């Protein structure tokens, strides 16, 4: 963790250094060019030269532009610095430092004389224009390259992370399918098992009886849960998440009734319930670690059922950080606001022409998912109409 913090600080320094250098250079060169053109064309000065006060004024304008851009992009920059690996930080920092050094070298050359000359026969005025124009173009190209690289790499990281979570969900779903199949096989052979257990009990072979029951439990690979939703996969998933919540000392309240005729695929149900509940359990765990005192005990409440020919899933949990998510329909793609797991949830919701809504109320995080049970392509479903 400490190593990651060091790499993060290096990247933060690289981004700030590149922004300050590139933006200031671009603004100073741009406004210097226009000032020279104004003096030459409007004021009719044959060979205009910027005065000391003009240079300082243009430098102040450049500094103001730097501050405005940094303030405007602060949230985006913080997200770039959030939750990445050490190698990723270095992969971004090194090119930015290289670009900054190149621009610094160009500035150093300009401070020693005219960096770009017109050929020697066009005079000092045009030599100055070529010099400032060259630095302006170089700075603009460098800004474009740096921005494209940083935010492009960030988008690639996001897509890889999202894909990784999706594949983890596939693996979890396959495990649930396997457990479901084993449970069904056990239930199919239940009559035979009961006959054997009855025979062992009648003959008083208690040790064999215990061993047989133990083998049956291992064959099922799951404990009997409290959940009975009408969907075996959802039952198993809720049972697993309940155990996770109990380990985080979180109160668990579940009232889920799956519709009998539900066209939502079991894998997609796994994505919906799994990602939402993982986030809820994680938030409860952070509360325990941070010692948050806003509520007496972390909690998770799950409600799901059929409402007006729609499947409505609502999960409430105690929130550890106010303002982490923005209230409203979750249409944004910024994982800083909604989390990468919730992006996968959003994709499933859109797949079935549904809607998703997120709210924060007095330290309580609420996510609601509404999916029509009848196929109505192109229709828009209003979350408020079913509440």
How far apart are alpha carbons 184 and 193 in whole angstroms?
14
| DSSP run (H or E) holding 207 | helix 206-220
The domains of the chain, with CATH numbers, are: 2-165 (no CATH), 228-386 (3.30.565.10)
How far apart are alpha carbons 355 and 11 in whole angstroms?
38
Give 29-61 pLDDT, tens digit per residue.
Answer: 899 889 888 888 888 888 888 888 988 898 899
The proportion of the chain whose per-residue pLDDT surpasses 70, expressed as a percent, equals 73
Q: Which of 277, 320, 315, 314 is nearest to 298 (CA)?
A: 320
Give 341-356 pLDDT, tens digit per residue.
Answer: 788 888 889 989 999 9
Between 224 and 105, residue with greater pLDDT: 105
pTM higher than 0.85, yes or no? Answer: no
167 has pLDDT over 50: yes
Please give the structure tokens belonging to residue 125: 């005025």
Burial of 111 (0-12, 13-18, 19+ CB in 10 A): exposed
How far apart are alpha carbons 368 and 307 in whole angstroms?
13
Give 113-159 pLDDT, tens digit per residue.
Answer: 545 555 556 677 887 888 888 888 888 998 898 888 888 888 787 77
Predicted confidence at residue 370, as pLDDT, reads 93
């Amino acid at each position: 963790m400490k190593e990651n913090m060091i790499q993060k600080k290096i990247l933060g320094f690289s981004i700030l250094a590149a922004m300050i250098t590139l933006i200031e250079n671009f603004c100073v060169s741009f406004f210097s060019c226009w000032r020279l053109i104004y003096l030459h064309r409007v004021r009719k000065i044959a060979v205009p030269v910027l005065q000391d006060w003009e240079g300082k004024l243009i430098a102040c304008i450049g500094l103001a532009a730097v501050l405005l851009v940094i303030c405007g992009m602060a949230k985006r920059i913080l997200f770039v610095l959030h939750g990445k690996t050490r190698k990723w930080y270095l992969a971004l920092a090194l090119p930015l430092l290289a670009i900054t050094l190149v621009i610094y070298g160009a500035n150093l050359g300009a401070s020693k004389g005219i960096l770009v000359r017109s050929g020697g026969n066009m005079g000092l005025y045009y030599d100055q224009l070529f010099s400032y124009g060259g630095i302006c173009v170089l700075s603009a190209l460098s800004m474009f390259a740096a921005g494209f690289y940083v935010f492009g790499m960030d988008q690639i990281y996001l897509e890889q992370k999202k894909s990784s979570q999706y594949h983890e969900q596939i693996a979890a779903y396959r495990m649930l399918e396997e457990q479901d199949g084993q449970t069904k096989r056990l239930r199919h052979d239940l009559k035979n098992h009961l006959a054997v257990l009855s025979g062992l009990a009648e003959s008083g072979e208690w040790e064999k009886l215990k061993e047989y029951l133990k083998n049956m439990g291992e064959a099922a690979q799951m404990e009997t849960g409290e959940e009975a939703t009408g969907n075996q996969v959802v039952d198993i998933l809720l049972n697993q998440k309940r155990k996770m919540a109990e380990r985080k000392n979180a109160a668990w309240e579940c009232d889920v009734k799956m519709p009998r005729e539900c066209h939502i695929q079991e894998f997609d149900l796994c994505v919906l319930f799994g990602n939402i509940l993982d986030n809820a359990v994680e938030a409860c765990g952070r509360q325990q670690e941070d010692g948050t005192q806003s509520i007496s005990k972390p909690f998770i409440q799950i409600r799901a059922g059929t409402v007006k020919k729609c499947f409505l899933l609502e999960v409430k949990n105690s929130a550890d950080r106010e303002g982490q998510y923005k209230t409203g329909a979750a249409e944004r793609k910024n994982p800083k606001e909604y989390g990468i797991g919730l992006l996968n949830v959003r994709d499933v919701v859109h797949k079935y022409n549904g809607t998703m809504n997120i709210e924060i109320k007095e330290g309580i995080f609420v996510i609601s998912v509404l999916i029509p049970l009848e196929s109505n392509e192109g229709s828009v479903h209003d979350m408020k109409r079913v509440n």
